[in-house]
Amino acid sequence: MLRASLDTHQLIADLSHHIDGPTQVSTDAWVSNSLAIVRYFGNRATYAKITKLYASEKPGVDRYALPCVSETQIIVVLGIPDYSMVSTSYVEGQNLTFRMKNDRFHRLTLVLPEKKNMRT
């Protein structure tokens, strides 16, 4: 599924209507996130973007391994966020759970097929 700016704006608009009072938001560095959060939350949110830089791929046997995060950069967009809470790990964990339950045949997942005879 591709990310679309319209989807982001709809999600953030809906989210902003369900959260009363101040909140802290952390996202990846995709531009539409920033535009939507500033538009729909305004001064009610502190907001920071986190960018993960990955180590370069190793040629050879490890070519298909997941890349390692070599550095993270935090950019403050609104207010003064609590740096200890700036993370995308919460949603990444949920995405991983979703992928593991639904994409068991993809090459880089962490799960195996349900039937033993299908494992290679």
Please report the pLDDT score of residue 69 as a whole number.
85
Task: List 73's β-bridge partners, or say none.
Answer: 51
d(CA 97, CA 100): 5
Q: Which of 34, 36, 31 is nearest to 13 (CA)?
A: 36
pTM passes above 0.85? no
In 4-113 the beta strands, taken as DSSP E runs, fall at: 23-27, 45-54, 69-78
Question: In the chain, what are the domain boundaries?
Answer: 5-80, 88-120
DSSP letter at 81? Answer: -
Please report the pLDDT score of residue 104 as a whole number.
59
For residue 11, name the pLDDT band (cuts at 50, 70, 90). very high
35 contact partners, CB below 8 Å, separation of at least 6:
5, 9
Summary mean pLDDT of the chain? 82
